[in-house]
Structure 1
Amino acid sequence: MTSKSISFTVLVAILATFASKVLVINPNPELFLKYLVHLGPTSSIIIAKFIPFNFDDFRRHRKHPDKGKPVSICDDFPPNFPPPETNTTLTLCVDRNGCCNFTTVQSAVDTVANFSMKRTVIWINSGIYYEKVIIPKTKPNITFQGQGYTSTAIAWNDTANSANGTFYSGSVQVFAANFIAKNISFMNVAPIPRPGDVGAQAVAIRIAGDQAAFWGCGFFGAQDTLHDDRGRHYFKDCYIQGSIDFIFGNGKSLYEGCQLISMASPVAPGSKGINGAVTAHGRASADENSGFAFVNCSVGGTGRIWLGRAWRPFSRVVFALTSMTDIIAPEGWNDFNDPTRDQTIFYGEYNCTGDGANITSRAPYVQKLNDTQATLFLNTTFIDGDAWLQSFNS
């Protein structure tokens, strides 16, 4: 590792260490990151991917490698960017170095006109944007366009304790309808909770608006990483990492081709203890039309975990055509230790593969779906996608 670059793994570990010791984060990113360098490298289990992070990017000018003359880093931008506004689209540009209209994501969001019917694309350059971002109900039709989920990230460090509740701890909180995110990561870098910690839940993103779509995005945290709160949502080719209930809420969502990675602590061979769960769906009554469907996904990582537990009595989750490693406990699921929920929860599996997909020892309330039953969950009709879901390139 050179002095000019640091892996995102190391950076996030440092962020977590720093966040656990300091209540007020330095708002100046250059000074903040220079301080982090002096903390020294450390290992991290918050994130398993790498994002090259070049500290030269914080200098507005650098020397030309051949002539030694100063050139602006903004010269890397294509001419006439962002493109001019059209009748249907407005593009705003965010760059932490000042090469665009905005240096923070929230400042770009704040500029969007209330109740605009136009699609506002907020193009976000590579880098870590250490800020808390809120998109209110009054600002629908916003797109976050990153440069790759291993290149662009929004991160913050709130917990249930610091934010007065888990629901408010999200680094990004989306209350508006028709939100789209492409090729960007959402992170909560609060310290990883220890067993029994109270108020340590730390959400990376809360999605409380209807008709949201995420393409090639990353979600990183530990407990309660992705708050799939309410509304119809689509996740395609995403990377989702956490430990306990790391996908939770009462949304009606389709996860297609996603990697679900447990970062629960490794367990001793033969141990029957459980230290994590992928989902905690919050359907409270049979009248609620919600649920999570995972199709062509993969489940792996560390620990010994459940596919889901019944946060509320009508919890509904289906895993179909998904590969599972042996981190999945044989019983597969948990009724929140409330047997009265066994008659109302809907947990189904369909044609899954891998060592963790053996259903012979599954809990008695788990359903092995047939072709007809599974059809309801296998494509975007589950979320009424024909009525609202746009293609990636639209």
Structure 2
Amino acid sequence: MFTVKNYLPDATLSKYVKVSVRADENIFVKMFLNQELWLERFLREDEILDAIFELNSGKNVLQIEGENFEGNRYVLNKSIRYLEKPFAIVDQNYAGCDKDVAGGIVFCKSLKSLVEILKKENSSYKAVFIRNGIYREKVDLDSSKVMLIGEDKNKTIMTYSLAAGLPAESGGILYTSNTATFTISGEDFVVENITFENSFDRNIPIEHRQAVAVKVLADRIMFFNCAFKSTQDTLYADFGRQYYYKCYIEGDVDFIFGAATAIFEECVICSLDREDRKIKGYVTAASTKPDSNFGFLFIRCKLISNIREKECVYLGRPWHPSSDPQRWANVVFKECYLDEHIHPDGWCEMHGFCPENERFFEYRNFGPGSSKQNPKRPQLDETEAERYTKENVLKEWKVEI
């Protein structure tokens, strides 16, 4: 119906953004910014409309509506954050000196340089803008009250390659917890528009192949419009309360795991194929502690895969680290789409710990992978489902999208 001809970032330092729309047929076009109508035009086929929008500081929502003569409508929504004056800018192509200060803004050429700067400024909330680029670094960030804002989720990429079983620099071999590309241990942290990747090639012949992309060890951590990519043990959510909104997470074995209380809302969860394996993988491996009322809660997520075979991936299995009996895993899938790769039994055992002894539940899931009649897949009733809401799980922490 129409095509946006120019590049629109997820975040920008410019107050003004140009939008160029070409009509693919005769259409009426409306453009809105933050629900306010900016212009309305009739466009003939191949006609181009250019518009300049003035952004507000913070999150903006651009909406373009097209309607043809038959009454068919197409709507495009684009979220763009305008950062008026960030604390720092990370740009690997910056022409000046690393850690320069200009106009009150710190310019860093690497994420590790940013970590050093943030250690000295840990008092107030700081917004950091990360320009598009592939940052090949292993980063441990323990500063609190930070917003990391990528310019574009698909073009702002943090990547590294490590796996459990590889030699450690200090001798011996690496363990799973040492392999993370990006580790957060500072609370009150917001991340937007970034892809995190552990690019380890699992075909390398080593005994263990766990390769963590992100490890989160702090309370009140939010990810919006981010991507997490690896194979086994992609996302290690192990402490505090965490919130993931409209994110993409991929992997094969136990690729969302840990002891955290975490909500995944409107996320895409993609299971990757493991060739020559009958069972292709497990989405979750929660290790929730008994005194935690909540573990992992998935709300209106889409569980998809690149696997041709059907019924070959489990929703999860209980992880008891070092066979610790003092774990009581809790995972709930609520109103999620489950594709045909999901196993009819839903859950399975892990190292002798059985799913029926854990807190694994579903509620109003749909799609070919849903199986409400299987007694091995406990379903919440209306009253029980009311416990599993964003407000109850996150308590006094009010997340703002």
Per the normalisation by structure 1, the TM-score is 0.70
Q: Which amino acid aligns with 1:305?
A: V
Q: Which amino acid aligns with 1:376?
A: R
Q: State which of 87, 93, 96 in structure 2 corresponds to 1:91.
A: 87
Higher strand share: 2
Asked if 1 retains the 8 angstrom alpha-carbon contact of 2:220 and 2:242, the reply is yes
Unaligned runs of 5+ in 1: 1-80, 85-89
| Change over 3 Å in CA distance of 1:343–1:334 after alignment to 2 | closer
Question: What residue is the counterpart of 1:280 in the other structure?
Answer: 285
Question: What residue is the counterpart of 2:362 in the other structure?
Answer: 349
| Change over 3 Å in CA distance of 1:193–1:333 after alignment to 2 | farther
Matched, 1:232 2:241: yes
Matched, 1:299 2:313: no
Asked if 2 retains the 8 angstrom alpha-carbon contact of 1:82 and 1:93, the reply is no
Question: What residue is the counterpart of 1:333 in the other structure?
Answer: 347
Q: Displacement, 1:388?
A: 2.8
Asked if 1 retains the 8 angstrom alpha-carbon contact of 2:299 and 2:333, the reply is yes
Asked if 1 retains the 8 angstrom alpha-carbon contact of 2:272 and 2:305, the reply is yes
Asked if 2 retains the 8 angstrom alpha-carbon contact of 1:244 and 1:264, the reply is no
Q: State which of 370, 377, 381 in structure 1 corresponds to 2:381.
A: 370
Matched, 1:173 2:183: yes
| Change over 3 Å in CA distance of 1:380–1:160 after alignment to 2 | farther
Q: Displacement, 1:362?
A: 5.1
Q: State which of 313, 319, 328 in structure 2 corresponds to 1:311.
A: 319
Q: State which of 365, 381, 392 in structure 1 corresponds to 2:392.
A: 381
Q: Displacement, 1:135?
A: 0.7
| Change over 3 Å in CA distance of 1:320–1:83 after alignment to 2 | closer
Question: What residue is the counterpart of 1:36 in the other structure?
Answer: none
Unaligned runs of 5+ in 2: 1-81, 96-105, 169-173, 321-326
Question: Mean Cα displacement is larger for which, 253-262 or 142-151?
Answer: 142-151
| Change over 3 Å in CA distance of 1:347–1:198 after alignment to 2 | same
| Change over 3 Å in CA distance of 1:155–1:144 after alignment to 2 | same
Q: 2: distance between equivalents of 1:337 and 1:302?
A: 27
SS at match of 1:229: strand
* Corresponding residue pairs, total: 294
Asked if 2 retains the 8 angstrom alpha-carbon contact of 1:82 and 1:92, the reply is no
Per the normalisation by structure 2, the TM-score is 0.69
Q: Displacement, 1:175?
A: 0.8
Q: State which of 198, 203, 208 in structure 2 corresponds to 1:188.
A: 198
Q: State which of 197, 200, 208 in structure 1 corresponds to 2:217.
A: 208
Q: Which amino acid aligns with 2:107?
A: N
Point out the structure with max Rg over C-alpha.
Answer: 2
What aligned pairs does 1:122-141 form with structure 2 within 5 A after superposition? 122-136=128-142, 139-141=143-145
| Change over 3 Å in CA distance of 1:128–1:362 after alignment to 2 | farther
Q: Displacement, 1:332?
A: 0.7
Q: CA RMSD for the aligned pairs? A: 2.2
User: Could you report, residue by residue, the CA deviation over 1:154-178 in whole angstroms, capped at 9, with x for unpaired residues?
Assistant: 0000111235210111000111111
Question: What residue is the counterpart of 1:108 in the other structure?
Answer: 114
Q: Which amino acid aligns with 1:124?
A: I
What aligned pairs does 1:55-66 form with structure 2 within 5 A after superposition? none
Question: Mean Cα displacement is larger for which, 352-361 or 314-323?
Answer: 352-361
| Change over 3 Å in CA distance of 1:193–1:295 after alignment to 2 | farther
Q: Displacement, 1:94?
A: 0.6
